[in-house]
């Protein structure tokens, strides 16, 4: 099995890899890219916004002779974050209180279709999370993405509720992972 080489980058380096990142996105989201929420332009806008957040982190995964096969990225939720604003499930207020240091938001983890089921998503996930100082992480996953939900659960993530982040976005499972176990 090929070995995934991972590289950790910050927001400044993200711009230099724009086309490679968008190529992976087009491949990974080929079945959704026609929807207004999932357009390539909208994705890049989100990446630019995330890149402006303090603590932004990007991990890219390359294979020799293939190039970029996937990436994962995120940022710490700031104090008073609107991340939980679209929560459709009643939860205890202390569960969604953010102080700027408590929660890392894993906003994207994706691997090209041809390279899925090789453990590369897990490698990207682990590399991104291994040095996070936050006590926990959060992510959003579409519940019908059974492979992703199953993988996340096997990695220790658990669902706290349903969340719709934007009016034109789908409803996601909001998940948490304890990073200080």
Q: What SS3 state is found at 53?
A: coil
Mean pLDDT on 120-149: 96
Distance of CA 115 to the CA centre of its chain: 18
- Burial degree of 41 (CB within 10 A; 0-12, 13-18, 19+): exposed
Mean pLDDT score of the chain, rounded to an integer? 94
Residue pLDDT, tens place only, 153-164: 999 999 999 999
Token pair listed for 21:
């990142």
pLDDT band of 169, cuts 50, 70, 90: confident
Claim: this prediction has a pTM higher than 0.85? yes
């Amino acid at each position: 099995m090929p070995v995934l080489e991972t590289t950790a980058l910050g927001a400044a380096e993200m711009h230099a890899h724009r086309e490679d990142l968008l190529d992976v996105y087009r491949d990974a989201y080929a079945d959704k890219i026609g929807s207004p929420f999932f357009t390539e332009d909208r994705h890049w806008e989100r990446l630019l916004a995330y890149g402006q957040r303090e603590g932004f982190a990007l991990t890219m995964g390359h294979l020799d002779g293939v190039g970029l096969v996937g990436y994962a990225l995120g940022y710490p939720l700031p104090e008073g974050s609107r991340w939980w604003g679209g929560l459709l499930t009643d939860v205890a207020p202390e569960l969604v209180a953010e102080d700027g240091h408590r929660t890392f938001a894993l906003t994207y983890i994706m691997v090209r279709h041809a390279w899925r089921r090789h453990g590369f998503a897990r490698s990207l996930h682990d590399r991104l999370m291994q040095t996070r100082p936050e006590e926990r992480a959060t992510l959003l996953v579409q519940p019908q993405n059974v492979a992703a939900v199953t993988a996340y659960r096997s990695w220790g993530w658990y669902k706290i509720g349903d969340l719709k982040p934007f009016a034109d976005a789908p409803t996601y499972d909001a998940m948490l992972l304890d990073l200080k176990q």
